[in-house]
Amino acid sequence: MTADDSAVSDVLIVGAGPAGSHLAYLLAQQGLQVTIIDKQAFPRAKVCGGGLSRKAMDLLGFELGAAMHQPIGGAILTYGNRGAVLKEMQPMAACTVVRSEFDQMLLERACAKGVRFCPETAFVDAAESADGISVTTSRGILRSRLLLAADGAASAVRNRLFGKDLVAYVPALEAMVWPEEGALERFGQRALFDFDGMPHGYGWIFPKRDHFNVGVYSPFGGTALRQHLDRFTAAYASLQRPHKVEYQGYIIPLANRRRLFQRGRVWLLGDAAGLAEALFGEGIYFALKTATLAARAIAADGLRGDSMAYSRLLQRELLPELRAANWMAQLVYRFPKLAFSHLVLNQRINQDFAGLISGEMGYRDCLRKTLLGFPRWLMPSTAPDAARIDSC
């Protein structure tokens, strides 16, 4: 479909990623006329670690089917592949996906509900009126009652209408590694988190159907990420002698500097709003959660241009978790070796860390329990299941 001057919707969503497509589906369920535009054709490649927590799957409320690459039933917590702790997590705590497939599935689900999709249609500008908003795109003008921006960390809507300085980012670097034969089978259905992956950050290994997604990230940012990634991958046998490696960099939006999430008839969601979490750099769950909260706000207040229900829901249900995640990141990554020996190897606390990965434990609860455990966790810990995981 193409944009044209006669096109009118109740809601126009910019961005067909998880937040945009899931929100479109939820609004279509309410009987609203919804249009999604995206600057790219779908399916499209998308840089992302592709880890999906149990709580994110629960938000979606349906089985992923073929879009699931690997179920994750365990987490390996380690420091430089030394003293690793293997936490088995049953039932399935998470899964891995490839974003081109996952995002396409969510988009098709929304379109099956009657959502209109305009690919290769870029946002240019918008102008509000008393009863709606006119959106200029690369393929014409679209009109709607609300404009909801779910167009990612580099959001064109946010940059144009809220300012380029609203969101703070940090860089991350990942590699897709197609390993030697048998490496994926030996690694198993586990996700690895290495707190020596890069200075003041961590490295991850997520198994997919035919490759590993490997990356490094720090909430404090950093430079020379390729050197850190190469050092990290060199520590693991499963990543040696690969058939092919592809590197991709991206930004993770960790903060909304002014806590400004809506202005008139324009709302920001997910990465466009700066709502990734700081401890693991995870954004998919929070993107889906903002979609859920936006749908609830519209169900409560309708399509009013003066409604602040969405911001109130964010303030009550999402931002406290993100603040706690930021405090956890500060605690863990300021002194990562100390944190690993005193926190991650502590049996009670590493169970809570595993709960963060699956979603069984909230960030506020984990932070509270960690702080209440002070000064007990100041004594060095060695978990009975600590060992080098040779299959990695």
Question: 120-178 pLDDT, tens per residue?
Answer: 999 999 999 999 999 999 999 999 999 999 999 999 999 999 999 999 999 999 999 99
List, for residues 193-229, the tens digit of each pLDDT value.
999 999 999 999 999 999 999 999 999 999 999 999 9
Strand 212-217 with 202-207, pairing: antiparallel
d(CA 322, CA 329): 10
List, for residues 353-372, the tens digit of each pLDDT value.
778 878 888 999 999 988 88
378 DSSP 8-state letter:
G
- pLDDT band for position 351 (cuts 50, 70, 90): confident
The answer to whether residues 327 and 191 touch, using CB atoms and an 8 Å cutoff, is no
Q: How far apart are the first and last CA of the chain?
A: 47
Whether residue 383 has pLDDT greater than 70: no
Q: Stretch 32-44: mean pLDDT, rounded?
A: 97
pLDDT at 8 (0 to 100) = 86
List, for residues 220-266, the tens digit of each pLDDT value.
999 999 999 999 999 999 999 999 999 999 999 999 999 999 999 99
Cis peptide before 43 (omega within 30 of 0): yes
Whether residue 185 has pLDDT greater than 90: yes
Neighbours of 255 (CB within 10 A): 18
d(CA 274, CA 314): 12
Q: What is the mean pLDDT of the chain?
A: 92
Q: In what order do the strands lie in the sheet with 74-79?
A: 244-256, 167-178, 212-217, 202-207, 190-194, 74-79, 82-88, 386-387
The answer to whether residues 187 and 252 touch, using CB atoms and an 8 Å cutoff, is no
pLDDT at 391 (0 to 100) = 64
pLDDT at 384 (0 to 100) = 44
pLDDT at 1 (0 to 100) = 45
pLDDT at 175 (0 to 100) = 98
Whether residue 389 has pLDDT greater than 80: no
List, for residues 19-34, the tens digit of each pLDDT value.
999 999 999 999 999 9
